[in-house]
Structure 1
Amino acid sequence: MEYKDYYKILELDKSATKEQIRKQYRKLARKYHPDVNPNDPEAERKFKEVNEANEVLSDDEKRAKYDRLGADWQRYEQAGAGRGAGGFDWSQYAQGGGGGFGGFEGQGGDPFGGADFSDFFSSMFGGMGGSQGGSARPRAGQDYQAELELTLEDAYQGGPRTLTVNDKKLRINIHPGVEDGQTIRLRDQGAPGRNGGPSGSLYITIRLRPDARYTRTGNDLTMDVPVSIYKALLGGEQIVETLSGPVKINIKPETQNGTRLRLRGKGFPVYRQEGQFGDLYLRLTLTLPQNLTDQEKDLFRQLAALRPE
């Protein structure tokens, strides 16, 4: 019987906290999920291993029992399975009082879905709260993972969105200001619970498409604004299109290329803080005229002569 190193499967140290276990499980479950890796037997195998490791390490009782076994496993392998061999008593770990790894055959199956878990798991935990210990213990259903792609405008405006998870259409409301990589949790939208336990949750990771106009830094935005050389030299007004609508800006005479202007409150909405916005930074970039006429060239030569280098 192969020993399962659940910490290694989740790529964690034995000192990992419950929050670290939860985050790492979500990361690996998303990586190996069958929807992401269709027709990939190796990814499916790893997905099942990750689920099994999380089933044990996220449960305080199972984890404590598993950690106790880990300290004795080497002695067990040297002694052989069964009570009394080399002084090792496997029955303190195996459920149902059986002697060894095969002690659960013929007991009505694993209440936690033994078909999805290894023999190692079934031998240790298959009977916890099961047929020999009264009614089965309620267990929460498995969490689901999904991604939702949005444009920058979508994230700015928020509002209802529809996505399909496991052939089920869900309508969710996106709050303005959501960030790329942010995770939204929907309770009771995961797998059904077992033995009367609650359903799992659905974790939706937001993915924002790159935007050619804006660079986002937190709640602030930066955009390039092309300005003609004439307006930069002489000054004037210019209309700038922002996510909240057109804004008129004043360009001072003799404005240099790369000058930055700050528009307060014209950046991104602050998530879940209604009425609060970041700032919009405008980077003025000078545009040079092209296809000059002979007369224009002559005028520029006259200007150059007035300002010798």
Structure 2
Amino acid sequence: MAFIDYYKILGIDKSASEKDIKSAYRKLARQYHPDLNPNDTESNKKFQQINEANEVLSDPEKRKKYDKYGENWQHGEEYEKYSQQQQAQGGQQYRGFGGGGGQGFENYEDFGGSGFSDFFEQMFGGAGGRSSGRQAKYRGQDYNAELKLTLKDVSETHKQTLAVNGKNIRITIPAGVENGQIIKIAGHGGPGVNGGPAGDLYITFLVAADPNFKRDGANLYTTAKLDLYTAVLGGEVTIDTLSGKVKIKVKPETQNNSTIRLKGKGLPVYKHEGHSGDLLVTYDIQMPVNLTEKQKELFTELSKSK
């Protein structure tokens, strides 16, 4: 059982700050993301290792346990409790775990070269074990994954297939999810040990910035160009929305940078079916250029009539 050095996977040292961990993870996740490396088994494997390392090191409590117990940080405290019970009964504590030496699990070879899982199997119910014969059950590790979406993607509830740890998982993406929002898919993490429950899958949604719309919760903001003549006299203008183009009436004497609100033309409100935000449109009035002599005369005449 090879020891997995999460610090080495992220290319950082043990003194790295939370900011260093976050920065290293984002850089490597982008480099090895499955979307950028389709059908590349090694890159997918590396991506899974990066997520696993980040899941542990970005959590202060998990990182503390990992620094103390190594790869098997999830079971270290259970061993210490068992070891203390053995000492109370006159037993001898094994080297390489617990105690004040802080050696962690790096000395698992002290058990004859077997991995930590093998050792626990012996201690808690395997052949030659000293317990009642029942094997201890351990919950599987949680997985982390990222899913890139567009603003159009989050405008309606839909399904997508996500590749996680070599398996395709079809998930439902609720309309209105936010950038950076995380959802949990129970039971789709690592397998449990000795019949224990599987871990969970945590998916982070990355919603890309849109060139036409700015988002604020469920509301959207956009700019519409309006010619001077329509702004002065009134008329109609065609506006782009996420659901298509719509025509709206323009009031006479509309001012530059004035804003109108299109009710319900924003994004759906997350997990509130039937409720949507608004689209706020700011008019950008375009001044005419390359006027003809006749047009200039008309503007001159108009200015004299003030």
Instruction: Specify the TM-score bucket, using the shorter chain as the normaliser.
Output: 0.5 to 0.7
TM-score (norm 1): 0.66
Q: Deviations over 1:171-194 (max 9, x none)?
A: 211111111111121122111111
Asked if the contact 2:163–2:169 (Cα under 8 Å) also holds between the matched residues in 1, the reply is yes
Matches within 5 A, 1:146-185: 146-185=145-184
**CA distance, structure 2, for counterparts of residue 191 and residue 143 of structure 1:** 6
| 2:154 alignment partner, SS class | helix
**2:288 maps to which residue?**
289
**CA distance, structure 2, for counterparts of residue 53 and residue 128 of structure 1:** 25
**CA distance, structure 1, for counterparts of residue 201 and residue 246 of structure 2:** 40
| 2:304 alignment partner, SS class | helix
Asked if the contact 1:29–1:47 (Cα under 8 Å) also holds between the matched residues in 2, the reply is no
Deviation for aligned residue 1:237:
2.3
Q: Which amino acid aligns with 1:270?
A: V
Note closer, same or farther for the CA distance 1:29–1:167 as it changes in structure 2 (3 Å cut): farther
Asked if the contact 1:186–1:202 (Cα under 8 Å) also holds between the matched residues in 2, the reply is yes
Deviation for aligned residue 1:198:
1.1
| 1:184 alignment partner, SS class | strand
Q: Which amino acid aligns with 1:62?
A: E
Deviation for aligned residue 1:130:
6.2
Q: Deviations over 1:134-183 (max 9, x none)?
A: 34321111111111111111110231112222222222111111111111
Asked if the contact 1:193–1:199 (Cα under 8 Å) also holds between the matched residues in 2, the reply is yes
| 1:97 alignment partner, SS class | coil
Deviation for aligned residue 1:250:
2.1
Larger mean CA deviation between 272-281 and 233-242 belongs to: 233-242
Asked if the contact 2:121–2:135 (Cα under 8 Å) also holds between the matched residues in 1, the reply is no
**CA distance, structure 2, for counterparts of residue 97 and residue 265 of structure 1:** 70
Deviation for aligned residue 1:98:
3.1
**CA distance, structure 1, for counterparts of residue 143 and residue 252 of structure 2:** 58
Q: Which amino acid aligns with 2:111?
A: E
Structure 1 residue 111 corresponds to structure 2 residue 126: no
Deviation for aligned residue 1:291:
2.2
Matches within 5 A, 1:34-53: 35=32, 47=53, 50=57, 53=64
Q: Deviations over 1:190-229 (max 9, x none)?
A: 1111111111111111111111111110111111111111
Structure 1 residue 250 corresponds to structure 2 residue 245: no
**CA distance, structure 1, for counterparts of residue 125 and residue 63 of structure 2:** 18
**CA distance, structure 1, for counterparts of residue 302 and residue 191 of structure 2:** 78
Structure 1 residue 62 corresponds to structure 2 residue 77: yes
Note closer, same or farther for the CA distance 1:139–1:30 as it changes in structure 2 (3 Å cut): farther
Of 93, 102, 110 in structure 2, the residue corresponding to residue 98 of structure 1 is 93
Larger mean CA deviation between 291-300 and 191-200 belongs to: 291-300
**2:297 maps to which residue?**
298
Q: Is there any run of 5+ residues in structure 2 with no aligned partner, and where?
A: 1-13, 34-41, 97-106
Asked if the contact 1:111–1:130 (Cα under 8 Å) also holds between the matched residues in 2, the reply is no
Deviation for aligned residue 1:278:
0.9
Identity among equivalent positions (%) equals 37
| 2:184 alignment partner, SS class | strand
Asked if the contact 2:87–2:93 (Cα under 8 Å) also holds between the matched residues in 1, the reply is no
Matched positions, count = 252
Asked if the contact 1:30–1:145 (Cα under 8 Å) also holds between the matched residues in 2, the reply is no
Q: Which amino acid aligns with 1:149?
A: K
Asked if the contact 2:145–2:202 (Cα under 8 Å) also holds between the matched residues in 1, the reply is yes
Q: Is there any run of 5+ residues in structure 1 with no aligned partner, and where?
A: 1-7, 13-23, 67-88, 113-121
| 2:146 alignment partner, SS class | strand
TM-score (norm 2): 0.67
Q: CA RMSD in A?
A: 4.3
Matches within 5 A, 1:179-218: 179-218=178-217
Q: Which amino acid aligns with 1:242?
A: T
